[in-house]
Amino acid sequence: MAATDRAELRAFDNYASSHLSTKPEHLHRSLDKATSACRSAGLPQWDVNASQGKFFMLQCRMMRAGSVLEIGTLAGHGAIWYAAANPHIRVTTIEVNEEFAAVARINIANAGLCNRVELIVSDARAVIPKLAADIQNGERTRPDVVIVDLQDTTRIWDFVDLSIGLCIPGACIMAHCALRLAKLYATTQGEEDTRGRGSRDLVERKGSDNRLDAGLLMSVGENNYDVMLAVVIDGIQDG
């Protein structure tokens, strides 16, 4: 995509966000501080932008979510947005990168959300079984919404699959597909297409999984072209 096209998309996204992404002043300040901290620390610019954040927050509100699980914290923008859905919602966010988590921890604290946002620094493959045990022991509620947004898209399906066991029928899982990083529909085997293969794996595995019902949402804006797979759990079957 040409630079002029990207500039126009960014301008439109900013215009729409200025009118639609209304938020309390304290949330505005928290997100601005989080963005500044992210840039100062030299973190990748993959953070949730205003349009995406508002969309996720509205999803949590429409689901009347009391509990959210996020896999892939980065600088904490997403967690701050989810927590804004209602004053009682609790967010558990998992980040394997200690550098990212250090910035996110500060941003979450600056937003005054330490009592409602739990940041776990570890590989989600090790964390999710522990969350499942906590749920079985009555120490943790099942998530109503799960968001999976990873740099390594080759593992997205693994985390979606693991998350299903934490949820009840009707829960929503949203997973990021890397359309802006690779051709989702391509079938080449080159190393440069690793991200695309991971995203295709997510779409194709979902298509053969009768536990789930899903739709693909493609957006265009500040982050160029992007795709989100939204999944609703129809029913959890044994085996």
The residue ranges of every structural domain in the chain are: 3-233
CA distances, 77 to each of 35, 81, 143, 177, 181 (Å): 8, 6, 19, 18, 21
| Distance (Å, whole) CA 108 – CA 95 | 13
153-175 residue pLDDT tens: 788 899 999 999 999 889 999 99
How confident is the model at residue 160, as a pLDDT? 93
| Distance (Å, whole) CA 95 – CA 129 | 15
Average pLDDT over residues 171-183: 73
> Which one-letter amino acid corresponds to residue 185?
Y
pLDDT at 29 over 50: yes
pLDDT at 151 over 90: no
CATH number of 3-233: 3.40.50.150
Q: Which DSSP symbol is given to 206?
A: H
pLDDT at 35 over 80: yes
Q: Which DSSP symbol is given to 43?
A: -
Contact 136, 165 (CB under 8 A): no
**Other C-beta atoms within 10 Å of 190: how many?**
10
Q: Give the strand order in the sheet containing 145-148.
A: 117-121, 90-95, 67-71, 145-148, 172-177, 224-233, 212-221
Closest CA to 141 of 199, 192, 75, 90: 90
Kind and range of the H or E run holding 12: helix 3-20
pTM: 0.86
52-82 residue pLDDT tens: 898 899 999 999 999 999 999 999 999 999 9
How confident is the model at residue 219, as a pLDDT? 73
How confident is the model at residue 238, as a pLDDT? 45
Query: Helix, strand or coil for residue 9?
Result: helix
| pLDDT level of residue 190 (50, 70, 90 thresholds) | low
pLDDT at 192 over 60: no
Query: Helix, strand or coil for residue 25?
Result: helix
| pLDDT level of residue 13 (50, 70, 90 thresholds) | confident
Q: Which DSSP symbol is given to 178?
A: -
| Distance (Å, whole) CA 18 – CA 50 | 9
How confident is the model at residue 205, as a pLDDT? 85
Instruction: Identify the bridge partners of residue 177 per DSSP, sorted by sequence position.
Output: 227
